[in-house]
C-alpha cells in the first residue's frame, strides 16, 4: 500500500509539473512530464487530453489523435474531450465528423460554450455561414463577448459579406482588447472589402503579430526621403501579392533617384521584373545590408493608397523569352487557369480548394466552339481537360507573360495569373468565390486594381455550377473581348 501511495504521489507531481510547464510555454517539457505520468498510470485520461492538446498545437496530429481517442475510450461521456477531438478533426479536414461530434457533445451539454464556438468554426469551413453565425452568437450568449468570440463572429460576417456587422462586431472586440492582433487583422480585411483603405492599412500591419513571421528586422521605411540610403523591399505572402505590389516599384524608383533599391522575391519573377529599371533583384531568402526595409504588402499603407488614388495603369509587359509562338488557327486564343495552387493537406488546403474549380466542371467552358484554349498553369493536364486544352511549356513568370501576350482572353480563378494578366492589361474573366477577397470589393463588377479584369462571383458559397454555366453561355456568343 505504501508503494502505491508513493507512486500516486509521484504521478501527481508529474501531472502538476506538466501543467506548470504548459503555463510557462515549455510544451516539449510538458509532454515529457505527461509521458512520465502516463507511464505510472496509462488510464489517466486528463494527462492524455493535455498531451493531445500540446501535440495538436505542435502539429503532431497523428499522435494527438491517438491520445484523444484513448482519452475518449476512458471517459466517453466527456464533452470537453469530444470538443477538443472535433477541433483536431477539423484541422485534418474531417469536417463532417467534427460537426457530428460537436452536435453529440451539445446534445449532452447544451450550454458548453467551447463546443458552440468550435461548431461555429466547423460550419464556417463548411461554408454554412448563417449556421456559423448562430453558433457564435450562442457562444457569446452563454460565455460573454470575449475578444476571441468577437473575432470568430466578425470573421464569419466578413465571409458572408455582412460588412457593416463585421466591422461593428470587431470594433466591439477591440474596445475590450485594443491591442489584440487577431481582431485588428480581421477588421483590416473587412475594411479592405468595404473599400475603406485609409482605415484598413494601419490595422493590416497586425498580420506580423498573428499569422506571419517577418524575415527581416531593423528600421522600417515610412515613406520618407531615402537620399542615397539602401532600401530592401521583400515579398511576404503569395505570388499574386508580389505581382500586385510590383506596380509601386517605378513610383518609388522615380521618387528616390539616388537610393539603392533592392527587391528580394522568388526567382520565378526575376526575368520578368528585370524590366523595372534601377531595381536590384535578389533571391527571396537574401539577407543583404540595408538602411531600411519594408515588406511588399505594407507599401500601400506607407504610400497612402486609397481607391481614389490607386494607380490603375498597365505596369508589366512581356519580355523576350524562348517561349514558342503559338499557332494561328484563325480562332481567338483563351488562356485558362482552374486551380489556385497547392497549399498543403487537411483544412490548410481548404481555401485553395474553395478557390479552385473542379476540372470536370471547368471543362464546360473549354467546350465553347471556335476558340483555342491554352493552360496557363504548370503541371499535368487533368483528364477532364485533355483534348480540350493545349498545354504549352512554362518555366517562370516571364514565360507566362509571353504566353499571356498571345491571348485574346484569360479565364482564371483567383490566383497569380489573374494579377499578372491584369498588370499587363489583358482582358480577364475572373472566377471568384462568393466571399470575394479583400482587394476585389464586395459589389464591384471589375477589379479595382485591374480595370481589364471582369469579376464573376459565385451566387452561393461553394456553388460554381451557375457561374460556369453562365460564363460558358457568354463565351459561346462573344468573339471580341
DSSP code string of 170-205? HHHHHHH-TT-HHHHHHHHHHHHHTT-HHHHHHHHG
Q: Kindly report, residue by residue over 100-156, the tens digit of the pLDDT.
A: 999 999 999 999 999 999 999 999 999 999 999 999 999 999 999 999 999 999 999
Q: How far apart are CA 10 and CA 328, in angstroms?
A: 80
Q: So what's the pLDDT on residue 329?
A: 87
Cell of 281: 533583384
The model's pTM is 0.92
Q: Kindly report, residue by residue over 317-352, the tens digit of the pLDDT.
A: 999 887 778 998 889 999 999 998 766 667 877 777
Arithmetic mean of pLDDT, 86-104: 95
Taken in order 96, 438, 461, 423, the sign of the CA dihedral is: negative
Q: Kindly report, residue by residue over 150-179, the tens digit of the pLDDT.
A: 999 999 999 999 999 999 999 999 999 999
Helix (H) or strand (E) holding 204: helix 197-204
Cα Rg of the chain (Å, integer): 26
Q: What is the mean pLDDT of the chain?
A: 93
Arithmetic mean of pLDDT, 181-203: 98
Domain annotation for the chain: domains and CATH numbers: 2-209 (1.25.40.10), 230-303 (no CATH), 333-477 (3.40.50.2000)
Between 9-23, 204-218, 331-345, 439-453, the lowest mean confidence (pLDDT) is in 9-23
Q: How far apart are CA 468 and CA 474, in angstroms?
A: 10
Assess whether pLDDT exceeds 60 at residue 473: yes
Assess whether pLDDT exceeds 60 at residue 16: yes
Amino acid at each position: 500500500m505504501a508503494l502505491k501511495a508513493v507512486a500516486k504521489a509521484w504521478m501527481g507531481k508529474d501531472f502538476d509539473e506538466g501543467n506548470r510547464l504548459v503555463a510557462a510555454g515549455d510544451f516539449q517539457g510538458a509532454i515529457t512530464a505527461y509521458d512520465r505520468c502516463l507511464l505510472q498510470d496509462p488510464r489517466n485520461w486528463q494527462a492524455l487530453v493535455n498531451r493531445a492538446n500540446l501535440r495538436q498545437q505542435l502539429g503532431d496530429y497523428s499522435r494527438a489523435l491517438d491520445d484523444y481517442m484513448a482519452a475518449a475510450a476512458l471517459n466517453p461521456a466527456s464533452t470537453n474531450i469530444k470538443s477538443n477531438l472535433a477541433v483536431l478533426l477539423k484541422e485534418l479536414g474531417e469536417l463532417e465528423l467534427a460537426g457530428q461530434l460537436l452536435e453529440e457533445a451539445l446534445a449532452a451539454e447544451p450550454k458548453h460554450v467551447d463546443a458552440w464556438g468550435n461548431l461555429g468554426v466547423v460550419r464556417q469551413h463548411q461554408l454554412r455561414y448563417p449556421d456559423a453565425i448562430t453558433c457564435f452568437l450562442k457562444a457569446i450568449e452563454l460565455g460573454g463577448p470575449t475578444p476571441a468570440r468577437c473575432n470568430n463572429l466578425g470573421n464569419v460576417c466578413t465571409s458572408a459579406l455582412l460588412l457593416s456587422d463585421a466591422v461593428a462586431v470587431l470594433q466591439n472586440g477591440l474596445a475590450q482588447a485594443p491591442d489584440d492582433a487577431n481582431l485588428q487583422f480581421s477588421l483590416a480585411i473587412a475594411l479592405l472589402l468595404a473599400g475603406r483603405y485609409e482605415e484598413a492599412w494601419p490595422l493590416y500591419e497586425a498580420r506580423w503579430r498573428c499569422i506571419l513571421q517577418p524575415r527581416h528586422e531593423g528600421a522600417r521605411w515610412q515613406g520618407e526621403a531615402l537620399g542615397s540610403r539602401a532600401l530592401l523591399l521583400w515579398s511576404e505572402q503569395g505570388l499574386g501579392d508580389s505581382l500586385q505590389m510590383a506596380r509601386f516599384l517605378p513610383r518609388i524608383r522615380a521618387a528616390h533617384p539616388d537610393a539603392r533599391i533592392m527587391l528580394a522575391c522568388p526567382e520565378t519573377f526575376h526575368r520578368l521584373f528585370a524590366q523595372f529599371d534601377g531595381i536590384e533583384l535578389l533571391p527571396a531568402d537574401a539577407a543583404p545590408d540595408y538602411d531600411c526595409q519594408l515588406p511588399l504588402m505594407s507599401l500601400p499603407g506607407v504610400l497612402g493608397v486609397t481607391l481614389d488614388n490607386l494607380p490603375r495603369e498597365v505596369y508589366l509587359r512581356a519580355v523576350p523569352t524562348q517561349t514558342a509562338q503559338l499557332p494561328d488557327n484563325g480562332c481567338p486564343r483563351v488562356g485558362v487557369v482552374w486551380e489556385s495552387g497547392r497549399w498543403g493537406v487537411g483544412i490548410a488546403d481548404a481555401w485553395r480548394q474553395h478557390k479552385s474549380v473542379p476540372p470536370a466542371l471547368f471543362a464546360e467552358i473549354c467546350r465553347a466552339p471556335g476558340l483555342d484554349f491554352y493552360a496557363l498553369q504548370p503541371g499535368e493536364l487533368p483528364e477532364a481537360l485533355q483534348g480540350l486544352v493545349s498545354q504549352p511549356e512554362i518555366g517562370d513568370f516571364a514565360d507566362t507573360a509571353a504566353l499571356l501576350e498571345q491571348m485574346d482572353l484569360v479565364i482564371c480563378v483567383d490566383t497569380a495569373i489573374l494579377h499578372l494578366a491584369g498588370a499587363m492589361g489583358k482582358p480577364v474573366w475572373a472566377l471568384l468565390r462568393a466571399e470575394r477577397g479583400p482587394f476585389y470589393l464586395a459589389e464591384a463588377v471589375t477589379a479595382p486594381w485591374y480595370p481589364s479584369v471582369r469579376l464573376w462571383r459565385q451566387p452561393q458559397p461553394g456553388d460554381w455550377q451557375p457561374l460556369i454555366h453562365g460564363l460558358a453561355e457568354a463565351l459561346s456568343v462573344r468573339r471580341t473581348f
